[in-house]
C-alpha cells in the first residue's frame, strides 16, 4: 500500500478505536462520579476496591477477542476462509463458557472475593453488591469483547466504535436514573454498567447480519487443543488488564495502611481518571492491531516498521497532552468527585494526579510495543513487556517508595515502573526491527 494511503488507514483505525475506548472510559467515570455523589467517599472506596474484579473479567474477554481476531485476520490475509470461520466459532463457544463461569463466580463467591480485594467492615457490603452484579453480566462482557475484536478486524472499525459508544451512553444515562430517581445506590451503578455491553452487542449485530461479513458460525468439531493458539496473541491484553488490577490491589492495601479509606478514595479519583488515559492507549493499540496482523501475514516488513513508528509517535503525543491537561486541571478534576469537600481527600488526589500521570509518557510506549509484538505473532515479547509492567516490577518499586516517601511514594510507583519497562521494551523492539 502507498505510504499516504497507509497513513490515512492508520489514522482512521486508530481514531475510531480511541473514540470508542474514550466512550468506555466515560462510563467508568460516570460510575465514579455518580457513586461519589450518591454514596460519598466510602462508596468511592468500595468502587475502587471492586475494580480489579472488573479488570480480570475484561482482560479475559480482551485476551480471547484480540487473540482469536488476530488469528482470524492472518487466516483471511492468507485466503483461508475455512480456518477463519473455525477461529470465530471456537472463540464464540469459549467466550460463552468463560462468561458463564464469571456469572457463577459472582453468584457464589462475591463476598469472599471482596474481602480478598481488601474490603473492610465499612466497605464490604457495597463492594460485594457491585462485584456480584458486575460478574453476573459476565457472558455479555466477554462476548462483547469477542464481537468487537472480530467486527473491527473485519474492516468495520466504525461499527465497533458505535457499539462501544452506545453502551457507554446507556451506562451514563442509567447510572443517573438507577442511583438517584430509583434510589438503588451501588446496586444501581452496577446494574447500569452490566447492561452496557448488551447494548453494544445489539449495535454489533448490524454487522453480523451483513452477507459480506468475513466470519461465520460453522459446524466444526470444538477442540480444547486450539484454545492456547487462540488466546496466545491476546495474552498481553490479559496481562495488561491484570496489571491494572494488581496495581489497584497493591495500592489499595498500602494506602489503607498509610491513610485509611480516605487514601483509597483519593486513589479512586486518580485511578479512574487514569483509566481515561489507559483507554486512549488501548484504543490506539486495538486500532493498529489488525493492520499489524495483516502486514505480518503478508510479510510486509517495511509497513510493519512504519506502523511501529507511527504508533510510538502517536502515543508520545497523546501522553504529552494528558500530562499537561492533568497538571493544570488537577484541582477542578478532584473537586468533581469530592462531593463531601474533604480537604484531606483533595490534597491526596491533587498531588497524586500530578505525579501519577507522568507515567503515561512511558506507559503509551510500552502498550504500543506489546501490542505490536502480539499482533505480529511475537507473543513471548508482548507477554514479557506486559508481565514486567504489571506484575514483576511493581512490588520491588512500590514498597520501598511507600516506606521512604509515604503516600507520594505510592503515586510515584506508576511512573517508575513504566520507565523501567520502557527501557526493556525499546531494547527488544530495536533488536526485532534490526533482525528483520
Contacts of 388 (CB under 8 A, 6+ apart): 420, 421, 424
Question: Which of 77-91, 178-192, 295-309 has the lowest average pLDDT?
Answer: 295-309
* DSSP labels, 253-318: HHHHHHHHHHHHHHHHHHHHHHHHHHHHHHHHHHHHHHHHHHHHHHT-HHHHHHHHHHHHHHHHHH
Q: Is the pLDDT of residue 138 over 90?
A: yes
- 316-358: per-residue pLDDT in tens? 999 999 999 999 999 999 998 887 888 999 999 999 999 999 9
pLDDT of residue 435: 62
Q: Is the pLDDT of residue 375 over 90?
A: no
Phi-psi region of 300 (alpha: psi -120 to 50; beta: other; left: phi over 0): beta
Share of the chain above pLDDT 90, in %: 35
CA-to-CA distance for 364 and 360, rounded, in angstroms?
6
pLDDT of residue 77: 80
pLDDT of residue 415: 95
Helices (H), 117-184: 124-136, 138-153, 157-179
pLDDT of residue 436: 60
Q: Is the pLDDT of residue 413 over 60?
A: yes
Question: Which of 152-156, 241-245, 407-411 has the lowest average pLDDT?
Answer: 241-245
CA-to-CA distance for 46 and 267, rounded, in angstroms?
11
Average pLDDT in the chain:
86
Centroid of chain to Cα 321: 20
Q: Which of 62-76, 129-143, 177-191 has the highest mean pLDDT?
A: 129-143
pTM: 0.74
User: What average pLDDT does range 55-66 have in this prediction?
Assistant: 91
- 148-201: per-residue pLDDT in tens? 988 888 888 888 888 988 998 898 899 899 999 998 988 998 999 899 999 999
pLDDT of residue 132: 96
Centroid of chain to Cα 339: 27
pLDDT of residue 229: 82
pLDDT of residue 1: 53
Cβ(16)–Cβ(158) below 8 Å: yes
Q: Is the pLDDT of residue 47 over 70?
A: yes
Regarding predicted confidence, which is higher, 172 or 212?
172
Q: Is the pLDDT of residue 290 over 80?
A: no
pLDDT of residue 363: 92
User: What average pLDDT does range 258-287 have in this prediction?
Assistant: 86
pLDDT of residue 347: 92
pLDDT of residue 79: 80
- 109-126: per-residue pLDDT in tens? 999 999 999 888 889 999
User: What average pLDDT does range 13-33 have in this prediction?
Assistant: 75
Amino acid at each position: 500500500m502507498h505510504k499516504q494511503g497507509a497513513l490515512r488507514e492508520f489514522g482512521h483505525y486508530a481514531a475510531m478505536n480511541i473514540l470508542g475506548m474514550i466512550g468506555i472510559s466515560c462510563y467508568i467515570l460516570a460510575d465514579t462520579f455518580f457513586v461519589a455523589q450518591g454514596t460519598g467517599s466510602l462508596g468511592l472506596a468500595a468502587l475502587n476496591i471492586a475494580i480489579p474484579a472488573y479488570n480480570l473479567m475484561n482482560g479475559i474477554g480482551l485476551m480471547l477477542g484480540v487473540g482469536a481476531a488476530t488469528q482470524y485476520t492472518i487466516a483471511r490475509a492468507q485466503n483461508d476462509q475455512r480456518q477463519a470461520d473455525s477461529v470465530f466459532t471456537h472463540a464464540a463457544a469459549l467466550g460463552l463458557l468463560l462468561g458463564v463461569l464469571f456469572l457463577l463466580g459472582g453468584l457464589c463467591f462475591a463476598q469472599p472475593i471482596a474481602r480478598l480485594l481488601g474490603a473492610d467492615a465499612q466497605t464490604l457490603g457495597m463492594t460485594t453488591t457491585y462485584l456480584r452484579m458486575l460478574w453476573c453480566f459476565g457472558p455479555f462482557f466477554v462476548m462483547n469483547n469477542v464481537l468487537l475484536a472480530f467486527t473491527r478486524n473485519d474492516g468495520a472499525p466504525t461499527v465497533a466504535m458505535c457499539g462501544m459508544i452506545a453502551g457507554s451512553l446507556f451506562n451514563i444515562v442509567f447510572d443517573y436514573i438507577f442511583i438517584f430517581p430509583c434510589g438503588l445506590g451501588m446496586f444501581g451503578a452496577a446494574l447500569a454498567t452490566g447492561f452496557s455491553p448488551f447494548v453494544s452487542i445489539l449495535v454489533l449485530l448490524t454487522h453480523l447480519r451483513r452477507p459480506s461479513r468475513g466470519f461465520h458460525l460453522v459446524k466444526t468439531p470444538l477442540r480444547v487443543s486450539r484454545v492456547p493458539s487462540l488466546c496466545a496473541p491476546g495474552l498481553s491484553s490479559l496481562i495488561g488488564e491484570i496489571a491494572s488490577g494488581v496495581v489497584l490491589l497493591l495500592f489499595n492495601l498500602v494506602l489503607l495502611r498509610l491513610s485509611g479509606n480516605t487514601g483509597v478514595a483519593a486513589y479512586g479519583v486518580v485511578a479512574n481518571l487514569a483509566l481515561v488515559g489507559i483507554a486512549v492507549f488501548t484504543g490506539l493499540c486495538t486500532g493498529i492491531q489488525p493492520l499489524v496482523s495483516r502486514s505480518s501475514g503478508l510479510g510486509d516488513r517495511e509497513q510493519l516498521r512504519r506502523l511501529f513508528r507511527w504508533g510510538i509517535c502517536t502515543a508520545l503525543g497523546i501522553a504529552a497532552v494528558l500530562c499537561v491537561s492533568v497538571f493544570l486541571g488537577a484541582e477542578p478534576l478532584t473537586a468533581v468527585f469530592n462531593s463531601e469537600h474533604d480537604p484531606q481527600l483533595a490534597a491526596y488526589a491533587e498531588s497524586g494526579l500530578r505525579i501519577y500521570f507522568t507515567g503515561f509518557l512511558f506507559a503509551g510506549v510500552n502498550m504500543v510495543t506489546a501490542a505490536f509484538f502480539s499482533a505480529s505473532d511475537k507473543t513471548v515479547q508482548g507477554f514479557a513487556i506486559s508481565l514486567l509492567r504489571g506484575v514483576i516490577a511493581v512490588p520491588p518499586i512500590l514498597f520501598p517508595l511507600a516506606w521512604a516517601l509515604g503516600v507520594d511514594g505510592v503515586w510515584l510507583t506508576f511512573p517508575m515502573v513504566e520507565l523501567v519497562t520502557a527501557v526493556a521494551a525499546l531494547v527488544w523492539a530495536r533488536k526485532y526491527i534490526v533482525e528483520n
